[in-house]
Structure 1
Amino acid sequence: MSRPRTRLALAIASTALLATLATAAQAQSRDDRFVLRLSAFNPEAELGFSGNGTVTDGTDSATFAFNEDFDTGREWRPRGAIGFRISDRQALVGNYYDYRRDETWTYGGNVLDTGTIIPGGEPIEIPGARIDGRLSFNLASLNYEYAVVKNENFEWGLGLGVTYAELEAFANGSSTGTDLVDPQFETVNWKRDGFSPGLHTRLQWIPADRWSVSLEAQYLDTRWGDFLDERGHFERGGLLVEYMISERVGIHAGYDWFRLKLSDDYRGTARAPDGIDAGPFPYGGKVTGDLKVHGPMAGLTFRF
């Protein structure tokens, strides 16, 4: 009697094991039509300005260049992503970001020896400055994706889509006075928003049941739409590791990086303070702004 009971126990155990493996495989490989990821994003930003130009007094001219970088601290912000599968190889993929940060930047001033660029030029004191500003943007994208390569463990998709962005920079700036320049205070509010078509690609690898690893990238040029008047481009890359706790709910963690680089020409005229017989001094050149945002993220995944 013991042998039939042993065989029965082995059969029951084998059936239970197969059912468990089938459930795990279904949780990972089932063709979900809708995926929602809600994340907390903890980015830091690097804002840089560089440029060059020429100034003249009508007789002689001089060239100049500058390169300044500002870093901001970290702050948790919301982030979301969706995926809607149209067919076995077609899908719609969307992403949303929200970034906002208040910062203070200071510049201690300097002395520029103009004699190195204009014969007989005198040293000029460059005033110190303080800027209290706020940098914020909202970025949302929706892309159509087609899986060029697709099997049980790997998928590579290419796509086209549209990106909406709203960028805003607000600053109160003040500078100290020098022998030639009075103390000054200015308020600047710059805001742009618009749409632009973009390129999209995504790689997904399934190394084991319930696990997946994804790489995603996007690119757009500001001249493709009405995104901005300034010349420039936007790049984004993201890495995501996901584990499905159950058939419908999972957890994920990853790292996101994106960059917006803009450049524009400028020109103007500087005038000496009252009582000083000099100038005017026409100037012009090119300035480039470079915003990099990157940081870790983590959150929940829902599949339906």
Structure 2
Amino acid sequence: MTLRRQIAVLMGATLALSIATPASAQDFNDDSRFEFRLSGFDSDSSIRFVGTGVATNGEDTESAEGAGTLDIGKRWRPRGELAFRLTPRQTLRLNHYDLRRDRAWQFEGDWIDPGSIFDEVELPGDPVEVPTVDFEGKVSFRLTTLSYDFAVVDTPTFEWALGLGITQASLKAQASGSSSGTEELDPRFEQLQWSRTRTAPGLGTRLTWTPAPRWRMELQGQYLETSWGNFTEERGHYERGTLMAEYLLTRNIAVHVGYDWFRLKLANDYTASFDAPNETDVGTIDITGTLSGQLKVHGPVAGVTFRF
């Protein structure tokens, strides 16, 4: 059974339960110590890379800039949130995301003339044969945040809280590629596996509005700098936003829909050096620049809230 079907069955069951259980006195302001949101997250993900650099041979200098976006697709994934109310104004919150993607690409072999690649540079040589290349990649990204928030404003219909917490990110990547080979190149197959788990403190805020006894609207935001912990060695920041609307079916069960969005931006400086071909009479070229990347995930959420 797919996750989308599981969510539909679960929501149908809660609706049937609400019909069978009187709910005339239900109110989100009723005391509840625990709240657990179980959601399906239809996440749309993309990775964008931007590179800038300056190349020089000591006499001449050239600047370059390039960018590209890799769309890694949409997929329903589970999302969970647990809230434990310590006092009327103090709450512990646990948020968890689990994202997984796999994609495959293929480049058909062809003959390429090096002299036609760059208009302003004449490269010697005849056209070369490029082999067919098949590439597969899998990415797993898990994000867990444990935070404490305190309600600075607390009224029967509105609450504004500030939070401080710890975020742990686990990123795993697996890639494999193969080439068919040509008369000049042998067929090849390569595999790569990489994983990293890091933590960092973060700041957050929450706005909760109860316009009617059975309705609740909630907005959450979170922000952290990578330099605050060992989240990653690169410069950057992480930010997340969530907008949720909930309707109370019974004293202990509600349904919710909303939209989730988060972004991780990283940047790092690089240096490189290489010798140009002798026939160009350029010499050694030194390159310095900055490479930045952005992982963006967003999409609708829907699910069930349990209150006790």
TM-score for both structures, normalised by structure 2: 0.78
* 1:86 aligned partner: 86
1:290, 1:182 → 2: CA distance?
A: 35
* 2:291 aligned partner: 287
Distance change (3 Å), C-alpha of 1:104 and 1:284: farther
Gaps of 5+ in 2: 1-21
Q: Deviations over 1:169-194 (max 9, x none)?
A: 333457899xxx99987654443211
* 1:4 aligned partner: none
Does 2:307 align with 1:303?
yes
2:106, 2:267 → 1: CA distance?
A: 23
Using the TM superposition, give the Cα deviation of residue 88 of structure 1 relative to its aligned residue in structure 2, in angstroms. Answer: 1.1
* 1:30 aligned partner: 30
- Please point out which of 248, 255, 268 is paired with 2:272: 268
Number of residue-to-residue matches in the alignment: 276
Using the TM superposition, give the Cα deviation of residue 100 of structure 1 relative to its aligned residue in structure 2, in angstroms. Answer: 0.7
* 1:77 aligned partner: 77
- For 1:1-304, what aligned pairs fall within 5 Å after superposition? 24-57=24-57, 60-105=60-105, 112-113=117-118, 115=120, 121-122=121-122, 131-172=135-176, 187-270=191-274, 281-304=285-308
Residue identity over aligned pairs, in percent, reads 45
Decide which moves more: 52-61 or 26-35: 52-61
Is contact 1:270–1:281 with CA below 8 Å preserved after alignment?
yes
Name the amino acid aligned to 2:255: I
Using the TM superposition, give the Cα deviation of residue 60 of structure 1 relative to its aligned residue in structure 2, in angstroms. Answer: 3.9
Q: Deviations over 1:89-144 (max 9, x none)?
A: 111111000001012356899955363xxxxx326999897653222210000111
Q: CA RMSD in A?
A: 3.5
Gaps of 5+ in 1: 1-21, 116-120
1:80, 1:88 → 2: CA distance?
A: 22
- Give the 3-state SS of the residue equivalent to 1:28 in structure 2: coil
Q: Deviations over 1:136-159 (max 9, x none)?
A: 210000111110111111111111
- Give the 3-state SS of the residue equivalent to 1:223 in structure 2: helix
Is contact 1:218–1:237 with CA below 8 Å preserved after alignment?
yes
Distance change (3 Å), C-alpha of 1:32 and 1:104: same
Is contact 1:173–1:185 with CA below 8 Å preserved after alignment?
yes
Decide which moves more: 200-209 or 281-290: 281-290
Distance change (3 Å), C-alpha of 1:133 and 1:275: farther
Q: Deviations over 1:231-273 (max 9, x none)?
A: 1100000011111110011111111000000001122344679
2:107, 2:220 → 1: CA distance?
A: 38
Distance change (3 Å), C-alpha of 1:230 and 1:296: same
1:77, 1:290 → 2: CA distance?
A: 20
2:123, 2:158 → 1: CA distance?
A: 64
Distance change (3 Å), C-alpha of 1:134 and 1:40: same
2:123, 2:25 → 1: CA distance?
A: 74
1:224, 1:183 → 2: CA distance?
A: 46
Is contact 1:27–1:248 with CA below 8 Å preserved after alignment?
no
